[in-house]
Amino acid sequence: MNRPPRPRVLVVDDAAYNREVLVQNLEDEYDTLEAADGATALALARAEQPDVILMDLSLPVVDGWEATLRLRSDPLTAWIPIVAVTAHAMRGDEERALASGCDDYLPKPVDEELLLVKVREWLARGQMRRGAG
């Protein structure tokens, strides 16, 4: 009997350790893709159509702010929920991330339980968006 495909989460962070921690927390329930910079994240998002993107905002090549804006302006990726996972934890950073097109905000260091709650929540919302698109 075939299992339904597992949801896919794109983890974007320039620090290998941060990607590893996020992937370890997700791998029991989700398939994961990884990108170390915004340009790779954009290419993977277009090619693989992940169900959720966890986006660091301080990235090389194309930063997370710009990558989010580009994802939002592309009809192929505009529906994908983007959760900012960032050390930008100063007053106003969450509002700036949301205003830039991120759907949610998760400060580092990441709370493992909150991470899973947010991914589940945005998976459900993303499926509704995909169906509406």
Least confident of 6-10, 25-29, 78-82, 126-130: 126-130
Q: What is the pTM of this model?
A: 0.92
Per-residue pLDDT at 133 exceeds 60: no
∠40-45-50 over CA atoms, to 5°?
130
User: Hey, what domains does the chain have and what are their CATH numbers?
Assistant: 8-126 (3.40.50.2300)
Choice between 93 and 54, residue whose per-residue pLDDT is larger: 54
Q: Is the pLDDT of residue 104 over 70?
A: yes
* Average confidence (pLDDT) over 33-43: 98
Cα-based distances in Å from 5 to 2, 91, 99, 126: 9, 39, 32, 16
Q: How far apart are CA 113 and CA 131, in angstroms?
A: 28
- DSSP H helices, 50-111, are 64-73, 93-99
**Is a pLDDT exceeding 60 seen at residue 126?**
yes
> In this structure, are strands 82-86 and 52-55 parallel, antiparallel, or unpaired?
parallel
